[in-house]
Amino acid sequence: MHYSPESLEAFLQAVETGSFSAAARKLKKSQSTVSAAIANLEADLGVTLFDRQSRQPVLTPQGQRVLPYVQSIVAASERLDEVSVRLAGNIEPRLSFVLSDVWQTTHHESILNRFAERFPDIEFECLIAEDEDVIDLIQSGRAHVGVLRVQERYPMDVTVARLQVGAQMSIYIHKQHEFASLQSVELDQLHTVRQLCLKTYKDPTRNTGGGTMWSSPSLLMLLEMAEQGFGWGILPRWLVEQFGHGRLQELKVAGWPQLIDVDVMWSNKVPPGAAGRWMIDQLRAQQA
């Protein structure tokens, strides 16, 4: 039996978003269209996927059994799309790449040099963003390929792959601050000093754990704030070493520094062309 791609997608989006109306907004369709697509899938399968008695639809036991199979079908379809792009060799006229400052610049400089030689006629754009902002840029189509620190959860309309090269994050404060001379610092002590924390455009309400704070969606801006003595912050080691002007002290705090894993991301609804796929392959092949 052949199942409608629209029905499969509607089912997965309803599971992810928690309601038919939210799935409709995500898919830019009417709620009645999404409801009908899911009803058609239920009719094709001969089972009820959602219990509609409560305020929000809840997966039935049959729906829970079906879910991983639908996810596998959609994932296989996305892989087929990627293969077709590679085989066709269609080169897009423009590639927008969004990069996190968590990831050291030396990791992508050599890739960009090779990209310039291989695709000399492509318009290339490099954006800087972090976390949820990277995801938003990919989902909206503003960027085609993105690099970001690993997130706990990703939306269904993006594909991610783990990179072999991660990033080290540590806690820094101005060298003239009293904490800079201590052998070790407790987290409770840090909460008595202003924290310089990352807050993205997409999630400005992010909770950082208490205490007075200044925030920015840019790690480079947080670095400059720390250099001026406005507080302490969690920053990439490479960024401090390259742009910190020797003004910051890494604090010895239990559990720090931390090695952060990094992912490359792209849309599975509008996948990158040949140049974007080449970029993804190069990023994934790079070793420390």
Cis peptide before 57 (omega within 30 of 0): no
Count CA within 13 A, CB hemisphere, residue 58: 6
CATH code assigned to 91-166+261-285: 3.40.190.10
The class that CATH gives domain 5-87 is: mainly alpha
- Segments of the chain assigned to CATH 3.40.190.10: 91-166+261-285
The alpha carbon of 104 is separated from its chain's Cα centroid by a whole number of angstroms, namely: 17
Can you give the pTM of this predicted structure? Answer: 0.73
Cα separation, 282 vs 114, whole angstroms: 10
* Selected residue with higher pLDDT from 267 and 88: 267
Query: Averaged over 19-42, what is the pLDDT?
Result: 86
Position 207 confidence tier, pLDDT thresholds 50, 70, 90: low
Give all strands (DSSP E) within 11-69, no chain letters. 50-51, 58-59
**Cβ atoms of 134 and 154 closer than 8 Å:** no
Q: What is the pLDDT of residue 85?
A: 59
Residue 160, judged by CB atoms within 10 A of its CB (0-12, 13-18, 19+), counts as middle
Q: Is pLDDT of 226 > 90? A: yes
The CATH 1.10.10.10 domain(s) of the chain lie at 5-87
User: Which CATH code fits 167-258?
Assistant: 3.40.190.290
Residue range(s) of every CATH 3.40.190.290 domain in the chain: 167-258
